[in-house]
Amino acid sequence: MSETLLGEDADLIIRGGRVHIFDDSRSPVEAVAVRDGRIVALGAEAEALDARTIIELDGRTAIPGINDAHLHAAWLGARWPHLFFSDTPPEDQPSGRLVSTAVERRSALQQAWRLLAEHGITSYTEPGIGPGEDDGETGCFGTDMLSTYVELHRAGAQTSRVTMLRLFGTIDGESSLDDFERGIRSPVPVTDAEWLAITGVKIFADGIPPMATAWVHEPYADGTTGALLTRGGDDPLAAFRRMIEIAASRGLQIAVHATGDRSIAEFLRVLERLDDAPAARGPHYVVHGDLATPAQIARMGRIGAGFAVQPLIASHTHAWAGAMLGAERLAGAWPLAEMLSSGALTTITSDSPIATPDWRIGLDASLSLLGAAGTGDDAETRRTLVRAMTVDAARQDGASAWKGSLEVGKVADLTVLDEDPLEPGRAFSAIGIARTIVDGRTVFARS
The predicted pLDDT at position 386 comes to: 98
The predicted pLDDT at position 25 comes to: 86
Identify how many contiguous H helices and E strands the chain contains and give both numbers. 14, 19
Residues 165, 128: Cα–Cα separation, whole Å: 5
Share of the chain above pLDDT 90, in %: 95
Do strands 66-68 and 29-35 pair parallel, antiparallel, or not at all (unpaired)? Answer: unpaired
Share of the chain above pLDDT 70, in %: 98
DSSP state of 225: -
The predicted pLDDT at position 258 comes to: 98
The topology (CATH level 3) of 66-403 is: TIM Barrel (3.20.20)
**How do the domains of the chain map onto residue ranges?**
3-59, 66-403
User: Which of 421, 447, 397, 306 minimizes the C-alpha distance to 20?
Assistant: 421
Say yes or no to pLDDT of 3 above 90: no
pLDDT, tens only, 420-440: 999 999 999 999 999 999 999
Residues 432, 387: Cα–Cα separation, whole Å: 19
Confidence of residue 290 (pLDDT cuts 50, 70, 90): very high
Q: Coil, helix or strand for 56? A: strand
pLDDT, tens only, 56-72: 999 999 999 999 999 99
The predicted pLDDT at position 4 comes to: 44
Which amino acid makes up residue 324? Answer: M
The predicted pLDDT at position 180 comes to: 97
CATH 2.30.40.10 at 3-59, yes or no: yes
| 12 and 51 Cβ atoms separated by less than 8 Å | yes
Residues 232, 420: Cα–Cα separation, whole Å: 52
Residues 198, 122: Cα–Cα separation, whole Å: 17
User: Which of 278, 276, 277, 274 minimizes the C-alpha distance to 303?
Assistant: 274
Say yes or no to pLDDT of 153 above 70: yes
Residues 371, 349: Cα–Cα separation, whole Å: 19
Residues 289, 188: Cα–Cα separation, whole Å: 28
pLDDT, tens only, 154-193: 999 999 999 999 999 999 999 999 999 999 999 999 999 9
Q: Which strand (E) or helix (H) includes residue 181?
A: helix 177-184
Mean pLDDT of all residues belonging to the chain? 96
Residues 147, 379: Cα–Cα separation, whole Å: 43
DSSP state of 79: H
- Mean pLDDT, residues 221-232: 97
User: Which of 132, 145, 160 minimizes the C-alpha distance to 106?
Assistant: 145
The predicted pLDDT at position 447 comes to: 84
Say yes or no to pLDDT of 406 above 60: yes
The predicted pLDDT at position 5 comes to: 41
Q: Which strand (E) or helix (H) includes residue 391?
A: helix 391-396
Residues 248, 280: Cα–Cα separation, whole Å: 7
Confidence of residue 8 (pLDDT cuts 50, 70, 90): low
The predicted pLDDT at position 88 comes to: 87
Residues 427, 424: Cα–Cα separation, whole Å: 8
Q: Coil, helix or strand for 164? A: strand
Which amino acid makes up residue 417? Answer: L
Residues linked to residue 110 through DSSP beta bridges, in sequence order: none
The predicted pLDDT at position 128 comes to: 97
The predicted pLDDT at position 275 comes to: 83
Say yes or no to pLDDT of 325 above 50: yes
DSSP state of 277: S
pLDDT, tens only, 230-273: 999 899 999 999 999 999 999 999 999 999 999 999 999 999 99
- Mean pLDDT, residues 198-219: 97
